[in-house]
Amino acid sequence: MNKKLFAGTIAVLVGIGTAAIAGNLSKYATHATSSAVNFPASDGATIIKTLHVESDKAGSLAKVYARTGDAETVTAAAAASATTIEVANTDGQFAVNDLVIYQHASGALLYTTISTSNAASVVLATGITPAGTLSDKLYEVSLQGQFDVAAATVTYTGDVFATPNDSPLRIVVDSTSAGYLTATVETDK
């Protein structure tokens, strides 16, 4: 990709956050110490087609998170800012300190951890926004892959990573004082 085209893509992504490009979805994030983008689950796999990352931290990694087990649909709609989520947990899939993604039916995502759990509900470390619906899902996620960044700018292209079917995707890069990432994905339905 030439520098002018890349700079134009970044400018557009900064202005609107996400953009649909020829059936693909691109997201951009920048932050001083940790940049992250999240993509909602789809019926098929979500495939990272391009991952462009910059970090000023020696030894930094771009980390990719995807679902570990099956998604669980919530069993009662939760109010906005609620932390207690009613969900079947009879097999103990969700445990204290598990990383989870709460996916609203709208596609909005919340990445958080489990504070407490029992067979009928979990308590999230962060409240959901907006209010929940009976179509919302809770996914346990874990580190599924990582890519070396170091104190550099790197670009990975091709079929970089594919999630399992019906899995949200989270990509994070750590930095010392300046870092960003751009990811473009496509869904395999």
Q: Give tens-digit pLDDT for 49-86.
A: 999 999 999 999 999 999 999 999 999 999 999 999 99
**Residues 71, 130: one domain?**
yes
Q: What's the number of CA atoms in the CB half-sphere (13 Å) around residue 12?
A: 13
**Residues 13, 34: one domain?**
yes
**Residues 117, 168: one domain?**
no
Q: What angle do CA 51, 157, 167 make, to 5 degrees?
A: 60
Q: Structural domain of residue 86, as residue ranges?
A: 67-140
CATH code at position 20: 2.60.120
The three-state secondary structure class of 95 is coil
Question: Does 130 sit behind a cis peptide bond, omega within 30 degrees of 0 on the bond before it?
Answer: yes
**Residues 134, 42: one domain?**
no
The pLDDT score that the predictor gives to residue 188 is 83
**Residues 114, 74: one domain?**
yes
The pLDDT score that the predictor gives to residue 23 is 67
**Residues 148, 131: one domain?**
no
Indicate the average pLDDT of the chain: 89
CATH code at position 84: 2.40.30
The pLDDT score that the predictor gives to residue 21 is 33
**Residues 155, 131: one domain?**
no
The pLDDT score that the predictor gives to residue 14 is 35
The pLDDT score that the predictor gives to residue 185 is 97
**Residues 165, 148: one domain?**
yes
Residues of the chain where predicted confidence (pLDDT) is lower than 70: 1-23
Distance CA(103)–CA(100), nearest Å, equals 10
**Residues 85, 133: one domain?**
yes
- Cα→Cα distances 121→2, 73, 88, 117, 188, Å: 50, 11, 7, 6, 32
**Residues 61, 149: one domain?**
yes
The pLDDT score that the predictor gives to residue 181 is 96
Count: domains in the chain? 2
pTM of the model: 0.85
